[in-house]
Amino acid sequence: MNKTLLSSLIMLSFTFSAQAEEWTLFSKNNTTPKYALALIAGSSDLDEHDSSGDLYGAEISFICPFIQASEHTIRQQISITKFQKKGFDMYTLEANPHYLYQLESNTYLGFGPSIGVSSIDGSDSDNTVVTFGLGASLHKNITPKLFLGAEFRTVYATDTHIDNVRLIGKVGYYFNK
């Protein structure tokens, strides 16, 4: 299954209930942001480099203070990651807002877009490119302060030789929950 079809299915599967929400912009009744820091690690598979390798980094996240949904949560995730394989290094800074559905009391299913910038060093090119993507995530609060997460994301770049698919695991800590 190609990445475009998979990305479209992810977004379509969640779109209908999001349309039924009542949305509030810049509300005076904003909830506490609930800041969190997570260590992330996983695998990334680059299209044209025939390269699958390890990806690792960190992520800060918080409940979005600018837009609120009536029944669900929007959690903003900002991550920095590094991918390295056979002399090819890629550093990526991304913003990933996720629309979260509560499945159980401490379990959330989410989806959302990403926008970022990747710096590439090695192989055939050294440059910086803009990235766009779509992802789906599962998030489980283990204790009031600790959580585990998993995310699947497809990423498209303005330089298509670094388009990639990622599977990421997360271990995180809430600072003000």
pLDDT 10s digits, 93-125: 999 998 888 888 899 999 999 999 998 887 565
Q: Tell me how many helices (H) and strands (E) the chain has.
A: 1, 10
Q: With CA atoms as reference, report the closest residue to 36 among 134, 138, 141, 106.
A: 141
Residue 141's identity, in one-letter code, is N
Residue 97 — φ and ψ, nearest 5°? -70, 135
Q: How many whole angstroms separate alpha carbon 56 and alpha carbon 104? A: 28
pLDDT band for position 132 (50/70/90)?
Answer: very high
Considering only residues 93 and 72, tell me which one the structure prediction assigns the higher pLDDT: 93
pTM of the model: 0.78
User: If you ran DSSP here, which 8-state letter would residue 32 be given?
Assistant: P
Domain boundary assignment for the chain: 3-15+38-174
Alpha-carbon span 175 to 6, nearest angstrom: 34
Q: What tokens does 37 get? A: 């820091």
Does the 3-15+38-174 domain belong in CATH 2.40.160.20? Answer: yes
Going by C-alpha positions, the residue among 111, 151, 114 that lies closest to residue 130 is 114
User: What pairing do the DSSP bridges indicate for beta strands 73-85 and 67-69?
Assistant: unpaired
Q: What pLDDT score does 125 carry?
A: 59
Give every CB contact of residue 40 below 8 A, 6+ residues apart in sequence: 55, 56, 57, 58, 59, 79, 81, 168, 169, 170
